[in-house]
Amino acid sequence: MQALLTCQADIIGGVSKVHRRPSAKEQRSSSGMSDGVFVFDVSADAIARRAEQANIAVPEQAAEGVRTQLRALRAHAEAAGLPLGGERG
């Protein structure tokens, strides 16, 4: 529950609500394959970082729905057998 609330707070309003700058390593690992592992992190920070990288501001009313969709997609990535890394969120 805490993670969900944190995520909503982070992605509401998009880039302006990102609390901290990710390290270079974090940025690399949130954007795809890293050392043979497909990093599909749906933690709050990871979603906010990707929103920032994609220059997308997720509207407040979409935050919950986007979060739900990303969790479902991570489950599909797991079912598709991708070598996943990152937090489930």
Partner 1 sequence: MSSVWPSIQDLASSVRRGERSAVDVTALALARIDQHNAHIGAFTCVLSTQAMDQVRKIDGLVAAGQDPGPLAGVPFAVKDLFDVKGLTTTAGAKRRVDAPPAADNAALVQRLIDAGAVLVGKLNMDEFAYGFSTVNAHFGTTRNPHDLERLAGGSSGGSAAAVAAELVPFALGSDTNGSVRVPASLCGVIGLRPTHGSLPLDGVFPFVDELDTVGAFTRSSDDAQLIHEAMAGQALDAAVTGGLRAGVLQGFFCEGIDPSVLAAVDRVAAALRATPVELSESARARSAAFLLTSAQGGRRHLDSLREDPLSFDDGTRDRLLAGALLPEGTESAALAAAQPFADQLAALFETVDVLVTATTPVRAPRIDDETITINGQAVNARAHLGMMTQPVGLSGVPALSLPIRIPEGDLPIGVQIVADRGREALLFAVAKELESDGIVAAPSAAGFADLSPMRESA
Residues that bind partner 1 (CB under 8 A): 30-33, 38-41, 47, 50-51, 54-59, 61-62, 65-66, 68-70, 72-73, 76-77, 79-82
Q: What is the dihedral of CA 23, 24, 25, 28, to 10 degrees?
A: 120
Strand runs labelled E in 1-89: 33-34, 37-39, 84-85
The residue among 5 and 72 lying less far from partner 1, judged by its C-beta, is 72
The residue among 18 and 40 lying less far from partner 1, judged by its C-beta, is 40
Q: What is the largest CA-CA distance in the chain?
A: 36
CA angle 13, 17, 19 (to 5 degrees): 165
Closest approach of Cβ 56 to partner 1, in Å? 6
Closest approach of Cβ 4 to partner 1, in Å? 15
Closest approach of Cβ 25 to partner 1, in Å? 15
